Each structure stands twice: as structure tokens, then as C-alpha cells.
């Protein structure tokens, strides 16, 4: 069976990219990363892709007059490479509605909160400031509105009373590295069906009721 052809878009160090690279390295994994695109020439994730032998393309957003021109170049690069699914992994650019529409249900993102809570930047700091007991991360299909779209996978992370935004973010990031490969696997296996603003997961496989209570 052919593996799903995936592109990963990055802007920074690429820790979630690395998690996806590691998952895709397994011969039985149903997806493969065939392209990495960075909008920043100095992004640390570029070296991760190169070490894994994945083709890298730099599309510097500063070289374009506006978001539309940048997104057009991005779309052309993805189409030329035969990409079937796009994963945003620390990609710090807001995509135009036209781009999101072109890649409808073929574009996913990971966000460091339990969406729809704490959208935007510094989600872990927002969670600490709000005094919540549970935070986490979300993998979702991308829609034109920032940090919105049908949810695929979420993971909950307890918030400790002495947490700072930085310490909570570090713990959330560990969960992200598990969630993103899991979401990609589910999609590549054809187990995710989008139904309006929600997803249906085929063969979820829950064997028992599970709870996370903080404090327990």
C-alpha cells in the first residue's frame, strides 16, 4: 500500500518535525515526509530534515510583497511535489483563506492548548494565568479562523501549582511529540472522517473509561 505523501512546514527548531520524522522512519508507518518547507532560512529544523535525507525548500516570506504572493508560491511548491497532506509544525505564518480552502481537510496543525481554549500565542502562559488545572495540546484540521477546525487528537497535561508558562510549555511539548504522529497515523490509515465541524474516528479502540483529575 502506498504511503501518504506529507510535507511539513516549519519556522523554528523543528521538535515536532523530529517527532514526525522518527515516526515515519518505521517501515510500517503509513505516511512518509517527502518535503520540508521553511519560511525562515536559519530555522533549526532544516538540519533535522537534512540529516533524515528529506528534501528541504526555503520559501522566505520576506521575499514576497504580501501573504497572497507567499501562499501562492507555497501552494505551487506543494503541488509540484505531489503532496497529499500538509503538517504545520511550529509554522509561524497565518495562511490566507484561499490557501486553506485549496488544502481543505488536507492541512493539519498542532496547538499547545486544549482547543478551543487559549488560542493564539503563548497558550501555556495563558493557561497558567487563567489558573486552570488541566492544559494540553490539540491536533486539528486547519480552517481560515486562527486555531480552529475539526479536532483529531488531544492530550491533557496537569497544571502544577508552581508552574510557569515555560515549565508548562515544556511538559505540553512532550505530549505534542506523541500526539502529532498519532494524528498523522490515523489520517494516513483512513480512520479520520470529517463531519462538519467535528471528526469521527473509526475504530477508536477505547477499552475502559479513563479520567485525569488534578489534584488526584
CATH domain 1-103 topology: Rossmann fold (3.40.50)
pLDDT of residue 211: 78
pLDDT of residue 212: 80
Is 122 a known active-site residue? no
Q: Smallest Cα–Cα separation from 196: which of 148, 138, 139, 146? A: 148
Domain residue extents for the chain: 1-103, 109-201
Catalytic residue from among 61, 104, 111, 125: 111
Strand ordering across the sheet containing 31-38: 56-58, 31-38, 4-10, 85-88, 107-111, 134-141, 151-158
Fold equal for 1-103 and 109-201: yes
* Distance (Å, whole) CA 98 – CA 34: 24
Max intra-chain CA distance, the chain: 53
pLDDT of residue 208: 67
Instruction: Quote the CATH superfamily of domain 109-201.
Output: Formyl transferase, N-terminal domain (3.40.50.170)
Identify the three-state secondary structure at position 105.
coil
**Mean pLDDT, contiguous 10-residue spans, the chain (216 residues):** 95 98 98 98 98 98 98 98 98 97 98 98 98 98 97 98 98 98 98 96 75 82
Amino acid at each position: 500500500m502506498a504511503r501518504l505523501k506529507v510535507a511539513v512546514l516549519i519556522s523554528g527548531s523543528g521538535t515536532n518535525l523530529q517527532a514526525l520524522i522518527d515516526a515515519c522512519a518505521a517501515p510500517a508507518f503509513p505516511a512518509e515526509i517527502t518535503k520540508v518547507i521553511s519560511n525562515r532560512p536559519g530555522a533549526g529544523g532544516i538540519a533535522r530534515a537534512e540529516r533524515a535525507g528529506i528534501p528541504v525548500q526555503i520559501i522566505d516570506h520576506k521575499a514576497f510583497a504580501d501573504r497572497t504572493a507567499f501562499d501562492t508560491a507555497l501552494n505551487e511548491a506543494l503541488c509540484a511535489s505531489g503532496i497529499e497532506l500538509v503538517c504545520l509544525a511550529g509554522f509561524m505564518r497565518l495562511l490566507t483563506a484561499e490557501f486553506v480552502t485549496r488544502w481543505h481537510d488536507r492541512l493539519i496543525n498542532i496547538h499547545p492548548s486544549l482547543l478551543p481554549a487559549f488560542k493564539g500565542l503563548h497558550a501555556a502562559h495563558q493557561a497558567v494565568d487563567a489558573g486552570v488545572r488541566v492544559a494540553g495540546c490539540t491536533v486539528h484540521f486547519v480552517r481560515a479562523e486562527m486555531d480552529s477546525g475539526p479536532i483529531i487528537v488531544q492530550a491533557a497535561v496537569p497544571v502544577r501549582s508552581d508552574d510557569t508558562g515555560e515549565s508548562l510549555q515544556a511538559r505540553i511539548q512532550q505530549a505534542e511529540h506523541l500526539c502529532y504522529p498519532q494524528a498523522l497515523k490515523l489520517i494516513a490509515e483512513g480512520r479520520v472522517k470529517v463531519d462538519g465541524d467535528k471528526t469521527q474516528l473509526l475504530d477508536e479502540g477505547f477499552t475502559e473509561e479513563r479520567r485525569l483529575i488534578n489534584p488526584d
